[in-house]
Amino acid sequence: MKSRTFVPAHTMPESSDERLLGIAVKRLQLDGEDVALDDAAFFGADWHKLDGAPDIPHRWTTGDARLPSNLRLVVLDLCVAGRYLLDPPDHALARLA
């Protein structure tokens, strides 16, 4: 599961968080079964440790979170909006070449 990424310390002057963050997931359901966010065995290196507990527990992805193959239905509830940098428009990149 790929997403855009950002580093909080690069987009928010008040932050010292240097992690590469993708999306913040507060609920994950795979084929109708909820996955406990505190299940460290399920979440690999492409997921950050549990955040926000006990208020709003969630896990950030690194932008390329792996899920088991052969899934029929994936339900994600997202929380905590990130501040993602905009990609420059194509015409701006052409001037740099």
Chain segment 3-35, per-residue pLDDT in tens: 989 999 988 889 999 999 999 999 999 999 999
Cα first-last separation, the chain: 31
Mind listing the pLDDT tens digit for each residue in 30-88? 999 999 999 999 999 999 999 987 888 999 999 999 999 999 999 999 997 787 777 66
CA-based nearest residue to 63, from 77, 82, 79, 50: 82
CB 56 within 8 A of CB 95: no
Confirm if 46 and 61 have CB atoms less than 8 A apart: yes
